Every structure is written in C-alpha cells, then in structure tokens.
Structure 1
C-alpha cells in the first residue's frame, strides 16, 4: 500500500496529482538511494543488483538513484520504503530533508545499510532515525560472530544464534540500545578492534516519528550481497520497513515499558505468586498473606501465621498449586513460632480470600538451628509436571570466616560450619529439593533426583546439593532446566591461606548435581581446608572428589563431583563476566524464563529468555541462550525502571512482570517497599497515581490532608482526580489535595484514581488508622553513626511511647513486648545475628570479618501496639546504625576534596 493517501500536509495540487496516480504494479515499491559525499564503497553496485534480484523474486518494485532531487514529497509518496545503501556525507539539502521527514511522519519506511550511519552528521532528526553514527572500524574485514538476539523478527528469525561472517565491523559514537530495538550484536571477543565493549549492537530497528526504520551495519563487501543469509536479512528488513510484514521493533526501547505501582502499604514483603485471574498473592516475612485484587485496585488481608522472625527466618516462601483455580491450594514455607528450630513447607486451603489455617498439611519439616543467622532460602516453585522445587539456605553464620568458606570444625561451632548442611547428604539445608505433592497431603519422589528414592545414599528429596543461599529459583517450562541465583560470601580478594574471593553465581542445572559449597565456588575454584583452631590453611579441596569429614556431618563422606557455576562474578571489575557489572555490592537472583503467547504483554523477542536480577545493584538483565543452551549474551533490561531492591519477580498470566521492591532500608520495615507491575506498552502510557496523607493515624476526629497533586501523565497530558476515602466505591472528592475528617474509629483505605485525557487510569491507596496513634521508638544509645571495634561490648537502650498503650519509661508498656534485632549490615542489606526482647542490652559483634568488606552494625527495635476499639494494631520501628572504626574509604556516602595516594598500609589498597 502506498503512502499517497497519508500525506495530508502537502498542497492541494500535490494531493490531486497523488490521488490520480496509477495503481501499483507490485506488492510494494522501494527507492534505493546510494549518493555519496565522502568515502564511496565499491560494493554499491553489488548491493543495488542484489536488491533488484530480490525484488524480481519477491514481487516488489525498485528504483535506484543517486539523484537527491527525487526527494520531494510527491515522489517519495510513491514508495513504501526508502533505502540508504552505503550513503556517506551530507547528501540532501534543506528542502529535501524536510520532504523526507514528512514522508516518514506519514508512515513511510526507512532501511539503512552499512555506511548509512556515516551520513548527515549535522541533522538531528536523521540521528534519531538511523539510531547511531559511525565512529570508526578496525582495519580490513575480519571474521567475527554476530550474536542474533531476536529470533522473532522476520529479518533475523532464520539466522543462527551465532552468525559467523566476514565484514567491516563498525564502532559507533553512542550505543543506541534503549532508543532502538537491538536485533543482534557483534561479539568483540571474536575479533580485534571493537571499542564498544560487551554490548555492541550491529543491527536494529524501531518505530520512529510515525514511520519505521531498520538498519544493518553490515554490507561493506561486495561478497556480502551474494551471501544467501545476508540477502535474506536485508530482504526481510526491507519488507518490514515497507509494511509488508509484521514484526515487533520495540522490545529493547526503554520508553515502551512502564512500571505500575500496585501497593505501597506493605511491611517486609518477601515473595509473590500470580493467579490465573490476575490476583497477586504475596507474603510478608512477619507472617501475613495478602492478596492484591486488580479489579478493585486494592489489597486484601488474607490472614497469616505465627512465625519466628529471627535471623532470616519468617514466612519466606509462597507458591500457588498448578490447579489453584479449582482446588484453592497454596503452599507456604515458614519458620513456626516456638522453641523448636525448624521450617515447614505446608499446604493450605484458601476459603474465598481467607487463609484457612486449620487446613494446614505439613508436607515437609526441615530441622534448622536458630542460635545464629543466616541463609534460610525460601523459594517455592512448581515445574510443568507438578513437581515442587524448594530452595533452602545453608543455615550457617558466614561472618566469622573471613568472608571465605565457613568450615569451622571446632567443638560448639556447628552454626559456623556449612559442612553440617550444604555438603551433608543427610540434611535438607543448603539444597534445592524436588518433590511431587499428592492430593492426600503426602509427597512422592520424582524420578531423576540426585539420590535413590529409598534414601540409601542420601535424602531422596535432594535435587541439588552444595548451595549456600539459593534465594530465588526458576524453571524453564519448555526444557525443565532449573536456574537459581547463588548469593556468595564476602571476601574481596583471593587469599593464599583460605582460597578464592567471594563470588555470586547464576546456575543452570539440566540434571541433578552437587554444586560444591562450601568447598568450591565460581568455576570450580577450590577453597583451602582451613583450620580455625590454628588459623592455618590446608590443601585445596578437590572439585572432582570432595570429601566431607567434618564432625558435624551426618551423611556420606565422599560426595558427588562439584559442578562449576554457569555464570560467576565478584565485586568490582570482572574479566570473566563483565556483563554483570562492577559494583562492590552483589546479591544475585534468578528470575523467570518468559513464555510468549499472543496477547501476553512482553513481546515475542523475550520468548525463552531467562531474567536475572540484582537486589544490591538494582538491575534486571536478560540472558539469551544459544541453540545448545549455553549463554549467548547478557544485556540490561530497561535500566530506566529505577528499581528499589527487587526481591522477587514473576510473570503473570497477562505476560506482565510482577516485582516486589524491598525498599531502601537495609534491614526491612521500609516505607518505600512496594508491589509493582512492569508491562510492555507501545501506546498511551498509563497515568501515575501518587497519593499521600498526613497524619495517617491518631485520635478521632482525625483530620487528614490528602495529597494527589504529584500524580502525572508520562505523555504530558492533563489528569483528573477521584478520591474514595473509605473504599466504598463512591467518589468523595475530585480535588487533587482534599481534606477529610474521620469521626468514627476504624481502619480505612483511601483510594485515589487518576485518569488521563484518553480515559486510562491507575490507583494509589493510603491506609488510615483513625482512633489509634502509631508507637514511636527513641534510642538513647548508641550514638547514631558512632563507632566501635569488632569484639567490643556495645550497649544499646531505647524507649517506646504510644498514646494509647503508654510507655516503656513508666512500665505501662512491657519491654518484653519489644522485639530487638541485632543486625550485621553488609552493603545495602542486613543479616539479623540474633533476636531478643527488651529495651536495653549489650552485644559484642564478632571479629574475623573481611577488612575490605562494607560491613557495619545496627540495632532495630519493633513494637506492635495493642490497637484500640475497632482499630487494628500499628507497628513502630526504630533503628540505630554504628560503623567500625576501621573501614575502607571507598564506602563513603559523600566526599569533598579527597585525593588518592599509594601507601604501604596492608588494608589501604
């Protein structure tokens, strides 16, 4: 179809002429333009001939020219696409540029081949069209690998994942990713002279200013145009640009994604699952189950469990049964309150929107230790066959092992010895378990686990052993392969005494296996058999035949061979996997493997893509696999999302990505924690509803000043406001920042609905506690951001005050009702070392921390008040952070006038 009828801005004469043009003789027509005002490629003739051959075989018309006078609106309107074939320099005058811009704005197509990016450097509009300008290239035409990332777009769908070919490999002035959809990159490790690093786009496309643009940087040599795959590549690019074939060209364009906030009124949200009807079931570590209902745009409390929350325990895992829509079964992993140290994996039944705690069936009981923190794991996930994967941490204190392997075999040091758990074949901790839940509440052992079902060689539930803290896991529904993120230890450098530095890992398991912890890390780098009693290093462990001879081991001594990590990276610059970034902090998690289907939000480009995400570094990356299942490439996913410590991620049935953001506080209880949804949207952006209120608790009559004026339309349009102050479905105010007086005590949800000028809307909620003040926690010691030495006894004291309940100062609030977490802070997160009760105490943070690590100490006090008649209890939290006296200077919050010099100080760098 020609563009003639779309060119509305031309003169009446031109419109008349275009309206009487002859009917097309071909499916579509293209104009090939090869004018040069700089270097001239000898391959231009071969390129024109190839396009003419393709046209003859595929029934489209071709006009080849170097006459810029053909760039008039009337003439361009007779073509469905314009091809810049190896153009260079400034080739159009001002009028011709204006005509070309109007042509694209009317829906025209553009194809750029090779040096089309070496053209019109002073034309900003063309810069956007082409995507990136040529900077230079290495000498000659070396052989290199093109990594084909998009197997859905017609111009790349037929290509091998690793496309090896000879060409002139352009470096660009900027990386166009984020502004264009990258179809493929050139692997700079496969040739010399690349300057763009690990992400070197070489072909891309995008919707631009009303039209379509497709570009390939290849096509320097005449021989390229006789290669069948390259010819098909440019043919399909031409057909897409001309509108003859469909194909999404927005999957790596940042502006096509939007983050929608679902709920901000959450308290330590830790994990989620999404039902077929779009409801989001999420848990809070303190024991609550909640349900976000997209129909009403609000969250419903569904009940909860009484849990132990010391260390990293609590309510930590959730999964909906594969047949949840009919049986209403939900699986929870939690640490039961009480004196017995254990975790339960239990099945419950939901009665409507309420958790029926009496329906509990305990599938699996996992003995633990609660003397010391850390690493509770908690991920639950069903595979397509109905098998349940259960991720458990090594339940070991890592903070007195110098940031290396915690293998302390001294008497009484079991909590510091991961050999009791991760490398113990008779223990369920430090594992990924695989069981088949049965309808009667029992489970069976699926075929293919690591040990026989009779338990003769180890616990038959074990699928993966030798893991430290596999906090998040994923299963590929097509292959059944298991993925997980392994959060590693803290050592910043290799040690001749203890072994390798700390690494985080992303692992892929196609079969069951032992992944080596605590003897092995990364690509099977062995730790040394360190003797904690004498502080001496022994021989390195053998990855091929690891031996567990710890006195804390209750299982086999000889273990299966250690499997190397799939992806591994340490703090700072990485030579092995530079794609993972250079930050000092790291907390990797494996997200889902996306399955595309028509109507699902994320586009087909992401089909069979593994997503991984970083809690500390606040990013999401896509991991593309080659045809063998090995890593093809790792690239950022929408870095503009501004994540705030993502801690769980799932795709819903709608194809949108659902994420829990833990929030900015290191230990939890963060006011900026929230549940969000990321969706792919190339059309009208949803407005962003931002609601607040002050005060949100207090005596009646409670006068609340609500604020909604910070809400906005990302597209720049006007928004309207509708407030429902009690969630009864009626509009109570259309002001942006209204006042409301609550005269009756109770808990309310005030909902703001913001609507844009196209009728799209989103909501935000503000919880109100009328008739009950929130308690406050005030520390008297230690001094905020004071200093201490590791091993020193540190005192702490605070007072809790609550209008309704009284104060710990006069004893009307019992200090026994106040929970105190003593926390080792590490980078941007914390590990609860111990949990106690009281308003004062002392603690000696242990030594033997890696001196290069960013660690500190914190005391966190929490009090939940008694509520008031008709009003639910409210929690109050106070935190005090103190820093070690010796700390690496690079961990500053801000600096001024700092200079760097080399020293002989062993910890000075």
Structure 2
C-alpha cells in the first residue's frame, strides 16, 4: 500500500532499529515492511537492524533519520548512547514508534528525546484520536476525529509542557485511560540540535496496512529527516475546555466506581460520603476558570469542592449538589473557579451522613468565558418524566456538508465515532424530521472540537415557519443538554450563527427528547 511519492524529497537513508531487551511486539516485521514500502515510494532507503553496533558516530552520520521501532528495555551501551547524542546534536532526526517509550529508562537524555515514558495500557480496543495539528505532515491527512483500534499507552508524565502535541486520545471513547482530559498520543519537537517525532500508536500488525496510519508514519519520518518543514517548536496548550470521566481518577479516598446505564460510558463514581475525594494527576488546575459536573442524587446532596494540588489544597471554587430525584437521574451543576491554582486538580466532597451523590463526568473551562454558576439552591432543571428519544434514525437535512465523509445522518445514528461537519462559514443549520408532530422537551448536542459558539434551537410544524425555543451566544462546546418548555413540533433544527473555530459546525449526535 504505497503512499503517493513526495517528488520534491531528495534521496536519503533511514535507519530502522528494532532491538528488544524486554517485551517483543509481533508487529515489528510488519513495521519494517511498511517502512521499506514507504521508502520505495517516497525516495528514501531503509536499513533495518537489531544490532546496536550500528550506533557509531561515523555510521549514524549517513542517515537523515533513525527510527526506534517498538524497541524495549536497555538497548544501547554507554558508547552507543554517546553516538546517538552526537548524531542528534549534528542535526539528526529521531522517530519513536509505540514501545519506543518503553525503552532506556535509565538514560535521562533518551527520556527527553522520546518525550514521555510508558506507564501502562488497557486491552486493545477502539478509540477516537483527536487531531490537534491539522497542518503537520503526519496529521494533516487525518480526520479531526480518527477512529481506530490499537493498544493505547498511558504515560508517566504529560509531554505537553515540552513538546508540540499533534494528537490526543479521547478517554471518553474507551476504557482504561489514566491521563484524563489531556492525553497526548503523538508529538514532535526540536531536541538538542535535531528533530524528534513520536507516536504511541502502532501496536498491531494491522496498523501497518492502514493507509491513514502509514501516512501518519511517513509524515513523522519526513519531518524527522528534515525534508519537510513543520512547526514543532511551539509548545501547545491543553484544550480550553475538557470533559473528564470521573472514573478516570488517578487517586481517591472512600469512593467506588459503579455501573450505571444513564452515565456517559455506562459508569460513574458512587458511594460518595462526606470527606471523600478524587485526584486527577493529568488535569491541571492552572488557569481553570469554570467547572461543571454531571451528578445524580437520591440522598441529601452535598457540595463539590474544586481544589488545587491536593484534597486539602487551595480551594478554587465549590458547587452545591441538590437531590436530582433519583440515582439514575443526572443533572449538570456549574460554578466559576478562581483561576489561580497550581498542580493537579482534586475534587473533595462534603455533606451530611450517608451517600451524598454520584458523579459521572466533569468539565473544566480555561480562559475568559467560564460557565454561568448554577443558582443556589435551585437545582438544574430535569427533563419531564417519560421523555423518550425521538430523533434516532430519523431523516436529517443540513445547509451544507464539509464532504461525503461527514453526512448529516451521522448525528442520529447513535455512533459516537461518526459526525456531521458543515462548510467553514456562518450561518449553518442542521434539521431532523421527527415524522409527525411530537411534544418536544429537551435537545442534547454532542459537539466535536469544532463547535458552535452561538446558535439557536428552533422548532417547526411545517419545515417553513420556525420558532426559537432556546438560544445561546456563549456555548463552550462538549455536551449541551438543553431543556425547553414543551413544544409541539415535527422538525427541530440547530441554527448556528457563530463558529468557535475556523472550521465548520461539527456534531457527533443531535438528540431530541419528548413524547
């Protein structure tokens, strides 16, 4: 499966190194074959070896890039390490693939080279990869939400503070992630005179036959070899808004993870008593200006305290949780935060005796537009009892579509990995036909990263005359769960008037509820 040749690239050589001193991946031969095929199609020659004797200053000088292909353990001696350091200082390029992060733990230079060391991984499963850099040659070809199956690494540290993050894992789309809302999986950076590029993907042999992954790998090789320019010197910032599954905590006291069908992902954190807490080592408190949480309570309720650094650290803000009407009835509570925290985010729970509430997920907002605090003591409105999903599988039309890969029908297919995306202009709309007139009471929007800042929810009985049921000019993306007065309508549409990004309007799901 060759990738189209880059005619402008000069001929060059790449060293592929796959020595293992620990676990050995059975995909290594497939990786070598893929790199050889990419080289044949793109004007570079691959020399593959597991012999560390190749790491001499003289030999490395003949290569534009060195690929550590699923290496593990201590693979170089002191002299060979020095040769690699000299190679990079002379302008060389490093490519790390998957288990390259499970390599040379006692060589500090290598820790900086690869960017982050491996910590753990769950079982192989499907995931949505969120592409942050749509320009870099290793990610420009990818969909902004790239759905694929792989072994998904957690890392000991988050590389974002020292590297340019290209793509992240969406932990809400799989189980076993431990890094929270900001989980980098591919990154690049200038390093000690050279260039480094790493991807945590590529565990399976099947990966190396996938056109998207092969092009991802090719872009990394071309960048590291210095034959294509790319901005890897800009340290990227975490998303302004990020939703974190509560059960992805990295430390806790007193709580349990519980199965709960109405929760996003089917699980939530429960058995929360006074004094219990959750810690999230990969969720920074710095710059946090807003907080919202999806909660349920049939108990007395209580308070969520948002703290920085530890469960007894600086209090950034708090939000009361009142009874929601049942342990299966989730509502969203919101508050503003001080924005002055340092260190990881902690949630501490306070209240009376017994179980206080369950928490499904929470969203941290950074920047100048925090969410409007939940009124106290008025609880978040609850959709009327008996409301059912009306929009599933119904006909959908839209003002435009970015391309055939993002059809309007994706918003009602129940698949969190498919989406509609509009043209890159304002205004845009998307409308669902419920088939007959219904009593509509709630609309739930699941935005992709390209969300609508300002939009209206409109209803119609004839698809001609529209009435605004709700509007906002300050959406922060993620999930917008909107309760409206009971309205008779056959058609419900989202009418966007201001995009939050340079891209179009992009929705994973548009759910209409009522009776």
Q: Secondary structure at the match of 1:112?
A: strand
Q: In the alignment, is residue 207 of structure 1 matched against residue 190 of structure 2?
A: yes
Q: Tell me which residue corresponds to 1:156.
A: 139
* Alignment check: 8 A CA contact 1:180 1:250 kept: yes
Q: Find the partner of 2:471 among 563, 571, 587.
A: 563
Q: In the aligned structure 1, how far is the partner of 2:380 from the partner of 2:42? A: 66
Q: Tell me which residue corresponds to 1:74.
A: 58
Q: Secondary structure at the match of 1:561?
A: strand
* Alignment check: 8 A CA contact 2:166 2:188 kept: yes
Question: 1:603-657 deviations in whole A, cap 9, x for unaligned?
Answer: xxxxx995xxxxxxxxxxxxx677644599xxxxxxxxxxxxxxxxxxxxxxxxx
Q: In the aligned structure 2, how far is the partner of 1:183 from the partner of 1:512? A: 28
Q: Structure 1 residues 67 and 510, CA, compared in 2 at 3 Å: closer, same or farther?
A: same
Q: Tell me which residue corresponds to 1:491.
A: 375
Task: State the shift of 1:229 in Å.
Answer: 1.1
Q: Tell me which residue corresponds to 1:242.
A: 225
Q: In the alignment, is residue 222 of structure 1 matched against residue 205 of structure 2?
A: yes
Task: State the shift of 1:228 in Å.
Answer: 1.0
Q: How does 1:95-114 map to 2 (within 5 A)?
A: 95-114=79-98
Q: In the aligned structure 2, how far is the partner of 1:497 from the partner of 1:245? A: 53
Q: Tell me which residue corresponds to 1:45.
A: 29
Q: Secondary structure at the match of 1:103?
A: helix
Q: Tell me which residue corresponds to 1:174.
A: 157
Q: In the aligned structure 2, how far is the partner of 1:146 from the partner of 1:209? A: 29
Q: In the aligned structure 2, how far is the partner of 1:559 from the partner of 1:226? A: 50
Q: Structure 1 residues 631 and 127, CA, compared in 2 at 3 Å: closer, same or farther?
A: farther
Q: Secondary structure at the match of 1:54?
A: helix
Higher relative contact order (CA 8 A, sep 6+): 2
Q: In the alignment, is residue 65 of structure 1 matched against residue 49 of structure 2?
A: yes
Q: Tell me which residue corresponds to 1:232.
A: 215
* Residue ranges of structure 2 left out of the alignment (5+ in a row): 1-8, 238-319, 321-367, 384-423, 430-440, 446-456, 460-465, 481-497, 510-515
Q: Find the partner of 2:15 among 12, 22, 31.
A: 31
Task: State the shift of 1:196 in Å.
Answer: 0.7
Q: In the aligned structure 1, how far is the partner of 2:503 from the partner of 2:181? A: 16
Q: In the aligned structure 2, how far is the partner of 1:486 from the partner of 1:195? A: 26
Q: Structure 1 residues 492 and 50, CA, compared in 2 at 3 Å: closer, same or farther?
A: farther
Q: Secondary structure at the match of 2:25?
A: coil
Q: In the aligned structure 2, how far is the partner of 1:173 from the partner of 1:512? A: 42
Q: Structure 1 residues 563 and 98, CA, compared in 2 at 3 Å: closer, same or farther?
A: same
* Alignment check: 8 A CA contact 2:129 2:167 kept: yes
Q: How does 1:445-460 map to 2 (within 5 A)?
A: none
Task: State the shift of 1:490 in Å.
Answer: 5.9
* Alignment check: 8 A CA contact 1:521 1:565 kept: no
Is the radius of gyration larger for structure 1 or structure 2? 1
Q: In the aligned structure 2, how far is the partner of 1:625 from the partner of 1:200? A: 23
Q: Find the partner of 1:121 among 80, 105, 120.
A: 105
* Alignment check: 8 A CA contact 1:28 1:61 kept: yes
Structure 1 vs Structure 2 CA RMSD: 3.7
Q: Structure 1 residues 252 and 523, CA, compared in 2 at 3 Å: closer, same or farther?
A: farther
TM-score, reference length from structure 1: 0.29
Task: State the shift of 1:510 in Å.
Answer: 4.6
Question: 1:278-334 deviations in whole A, cap 9, x for unaligned?
Answer: xxxxxxxxxxxxxxxxxxxxxxxxxxxxxxxxxxxxxxxxxxxxxxxxxxxxxxxxx
* Alignment check: 8 A CA contact 1:86 1:115 kept: yes
Q: Structure 1 residues 195 and 74, CA, compared in 2 at 3 Å: closer, same or farther?
A: same
* Alignment check: 8 A CA contact 2:72 2:99 kept: yes
Greater helix proportion: 2
Q: In the aligned structure 1, how far is the partner of 2:380 from the partner of 2:212? A: 52
Q: In the aligned structure 1, how far is the partner of 2:102 from the partner of 2:208? A: 20
Q: How does 1:250-649 map to 2 (within 5 A)?
A: 250-252=233-235, 485=369, 488=372, 491-492=375-376, 494-495=378-379, 510-511=426-427, 560-563=468-471, 567=475, 610=500, 628-630=505-507
Q: Secondary structure at the match of 2:168?
A: strand
* Alignment check: 8 A CA contact 1:522 1:565 kept: no
Task: State the shift of 1:241 in Å.
Answer: 0.3
Task: State the shift of 1:250 in Å.
Answer: 2.2
Task: State the shift of 1:189 in Å.
Answer: 1.2
Q: In the aligned structure 2, how far is the partner of 1:609 from the partner of 1:211? A: 38
TM-score, reference length from structure 2: 0.50
Task: State the shift of 1:93 in Å.
Answer: 0.6
* Alignment check: 8 A CA contact 2:425 2:504 kept: no
* Alignment check: 8 A CA contact 1:522 1:564 kept: no
